[in-house]
Structure 1
Amino acid sequence: MRRAVSVLGELLVTAGVLTLLFVVWQLYWTDLTSGRAQASTVSSLEQQWAAQAPTPTPTAPTATATAPTVDVDETPPTGDAFAIVYVPRWGSDYAVPVVEGTGTEELKEGIGHYADTAMPGEVGNFAIAGHRVTYGKPFNRVEELQDGDAVVVATATQWFTYRVRSHEIVSPRQVSVIAPVPDQPGATPTQAWLTMTACHPKHSARQRFVVHAELESVQDRSAGAPASLAAVGGN
């Protein structure tokens, strides 16, 4: 009996150590490795876009109630990075790639784009998802976004500035939040929206924290970075 109790105790201690190591790996190591990989992807995209940029012809930002012609007119292959998201409220150094797809593997690579939703700047709903913890946690501070905050999306030739209009907390089954007109399934879109989704609360997948933003303006990359990229909130 004593030997059995001793063996059981050793097994429980071993299990506890393994569980602790798993938590450390899940919460910290994946952040480190995915964060580095995502930063590398951002750098690669910026270099690629700079290399293929046309001769600069500066133009002013264009305010738009409906979306203009956009440069990402075809859905990229699943897993491919095609855009970069900047959120000034989260700091001037915040820049995370957007990859096609929202599966487990895609969300390790950055922010995921929901299949069959609009592309950046298009009329409809450019819907994206990101982790709040683990794998670089790109949407860790999603609750801090305030009405009027800028969410800037860069593609190979354009900058798209969206402004936060609302947020909500919903069930994971409420997929209407990523409908072409958010929360109005079946409605015909006339504006360009961006919807950000993340698990809520942190460390749980029980609900989703959702932020809706409306396209405010579009600017060619040849005109330089938009003024909306200026950091806010003391970051």
Structure 2
Amino acid sequence: MIRRAVGWVGELLITAGVLVLLFVAWQLWWTDVTSNRSQEQIVRALDEGFASGRDAGAALHDAFPELGKADAFAVIRIPRFGADFARPVIEGVGRPVLALGVGHYEGSASPGAVGNFAVAGHRTTYGRPFHEIDTLRDGDRVIVETAPTVYVYEITGREIVRPWQTEVIAPVPDSPGAKPTERMITMTSCHPKYSATERFVTHGRLVEAVPRAKWRLADWSTVEG
């Protein structure tokens, strides 16, 4: 009887182990596959809408109902992450949004505006757009494309903080209550990789705003350093 019970327990533990491994595989691999596919589709729709002057919003919400009331309104490109790196920027930082791209902290500045354009992205799983955020160097460029204008930011610094230290996304980073005079960008992601105990934060400043009609990606696509 005891031998039979031990056998049942062993089988249950093996089954549980297999289920855990399957969940890890789904979390670390399959979510990347599905999210990368979705994010590529959203970027393509935004690019086509920018080029034609048509709003891609309705079509995107039909294709991706998980967007809810959130809008995809920009494309972010980071040459340091590769020549083909392009991710959609979507309003909000909820879980459904971050599964579909880079999220814009509601209440933070719009692209190119005075203040702090603050965004968040996964470092692991769900397409992991900010997987290599720690490789960014001072002088690297972050390109944010909107329908009328393309904004080029330059990385100026980085820091590691606890999740509750939200002052990093204040209008003047790390100075809550201060009145902004510069046009900044802040990107946040979990730290270290495969953990959420801290946040890796990268800051930058606007160096150029180019009307879309005059925009050439090749002029800004080289990696500094």
The unaligned stretches of length 5 or more in structure 1 are 54-76
Amino acid at match of 1:156: A
Q: CA RMSD in A?
A: 1.6
Give the 3-state SS of the residue equivalent to 2:108 in structure 1: coil
Q: Deviations for 1:60-85, whole angstroms, at most 9, x for unmatched residues?
A: xxxxxxxxxxxxxxxxx842210000
Give the 3-state SS of the residue equivalent to 2:43 in structure 1: helix
2:108 maps to 117
CA contact 1:86–1:151 (8 Å) conserved in 2: yes
2:60 maps to none
CA contact 2:79–2:141 (8 Å) conserved in 1: yes
Aligned length: 212
CA contact 1:124–1:190 (8 Å) conserved in 2: yes
Cα offset for 1:224? 2.4
Cα offset for 1:51? 1.1
Amino acid at match of 2:151: F
Indicate whether 1:139 and 2:140 are aligned: no
Cα offset for 1:52? 1.1
Indicate whether 1:23 and 2:24 are aligned: yes
1:177 maps to 168
1:73 maps to none
Cα offset for 1:226? 4.6
State the alpha-carbon separation in 2 of the partners of residues 139 and 202 from structure 1: 10
CA contact 1:152–1:228 (8 Å) conserved in 2: no
Query: So what's the TM-score if we normalise by structure 1?
Result: 0.87
% of aligned pairs identical? 52
Structure ranking higher on relative contact order (CA contacts 8 Å, 6+ apart) = 1
The runs of 4+ residues in structure 1 deviating greater than 6 Å are none
CA contact 1:150–1:228 (8 Å) conserved in 2: no
Give the 3-state SS of the residue equivalent to 2:189 in structure 1: strand
2:6 maps to 5
In structure 2, the CA distance between the partners of 1:24 and 1:109, relative to structure 1 (3 Å rule), is same
1:225 maps to 216
1:154 maps to 145
Give the 3-state SS of the residue equivalent to 1:204 in structure 2: coil
State the alpha-carbon separation in 2 of the partners of residues 52 and 183 from structure 1: 38
2:96 maps to 105
1:37 maps to 38
The unaligned stretches of length 5 or more in structure 2 are 55-67
Higher helix share: 2
Cα offset for 1:230? 1.6
CA contact 2:139–2:224 (8 Å) conserved in 1: no
